[in-house]
Homo-oligomer: A and B are copies of this chain.
């Protein structure tokens, strides 16, 4: 049976500078066990999630590495999981992963750390076992509220413009912006946030030591300089398709609300939206021309997923519950459907008309017309003369 050395000495050696000065021996071993788990599982492995939640990372590792059976967890999780996890239980390979993190100045954040973002617990057994953070881990605790602004890599200039405007407005108002670091909408959201001096967090599908996509390396460096790049897979990990899909669940879970700016009919950002909906996080979608393929996905979200129609940063603040609801609009939908409209309709700016004449033209009682003419007179909307009433030219 594969073994792993869970002594304090081994843990301290493997973690290098990933431990802090004041950590207890037990905490160091627990941190090391979390790091090991991160190397064993693919994101979203609920059997691992249940096992670690039930036993703690150290004991869970002992159970699988030493076949130390326990009644505290469902044995099926152990049997099934071991088949997946044990082939990766390679102490040398794990040490290399930790060295990469150490060299890249990447922090390892576990559930025991104050920086751990509690909103991830909404993922239950699918929550990540730890987070690898390039940048400032403290920003992870400042993401409530925050907004995920995501969308197509193949964005149009319209979509990028909108992402820039929305992110700049929100970030300028102190709301952190979460996204996926990709080309197109994601990149525009990060860039505008940095320009506005705001906090932005990029969730990475692969290891945070690898800039992906490479063309966004400079942008990601700037994200890490003031915010953070975050992943649940260890340094050196490739960004596989599976990890992209699971990364999307972290974007949705970390943010208070998710807004999709542009998305093709089968865009990956619809997957992020699906995670937000599954987590009951508020979901918004920006409409666009129905003739634009890059908006077909956001229109699906409006039609099929009950996403809120987002047309401004104010709409997003509504989504976050940060502003009063929309103003009463009844007046606009029935503009001036009152008698004064009919009296105005019956008046002329040129011809003087008597109140009975106005009443006949308006199809109203003369006494009612006279009452309204009095009010319109006070407003300066009508003029009274010897021959009757006339509409003031400015009131037409």
Contacts and interface: CB of A to CB of B under 8 A. Distances in A.
Interface in A228-255: 240-243, 245
Contact of A363 (B88, B245, B309, B346): B88
A103 interface: no
Given A42-B362, A240-B342, A271-B335, A299 B309 contact: yes
B271 A296 contact: no
B303 A287 contact: no
Contacts of A310: 290
Nearest to A315: B303
Contacts of A245: 334-335, 337, 341
Contact of A158 (B291, B326, B337): B291
A210 interface: no
A87 B329 contact: no
A210 to B, nearest CB: 16
Nearest to A367: B83
Copies of this chain held together in the complex: 2
Interface in A55-106: 80, 83-85, 87-88
A contact residues, range: 35 or more
A286 interface: yes
Contact of A87 (B158, B286, B312, B366): B366
The binding surface of chain A is classed by DSSP as helix
Contacts of A326: 303-304
A161 interface: yes
A107 interface: no
B274 A333 contact: yes
28 contacts: A40-B363, A41-B363, A42-B342, A42-B363, A83-B364, A83-B365, A83-B368, A84-B365, A87-B360, A88-B360, A241-B341, A241-B345, A242-B342, A245-B334, A274-B333, A286-B290, A287-B287, A287-B288, A287-B289, A287-B309, A288-B289, A288-B290, A289-B289, A290-B311, A290-B312, A299-B309, A299-B311, A303-B311
A-B interface, 10 closest residue pairs, ranked by CB to CB distance from nearest: A83-B365, A287-B287, A240-B345, A42-B363, A274-B333, A87-B360, A302-B309, A290-B311, A303-B309, A242-B342
Interface of A: 40-42, 45, 80, 83-85, 87-88, 158, 161-162, 240-243, 245, 265-266, 268, 270-271, 273-274, 286-291, 295-296, 299-300, 302-304, 308-312, 315, 326, 329, 332-337, 341-342, 344-346, 356, 359-360, 362-368
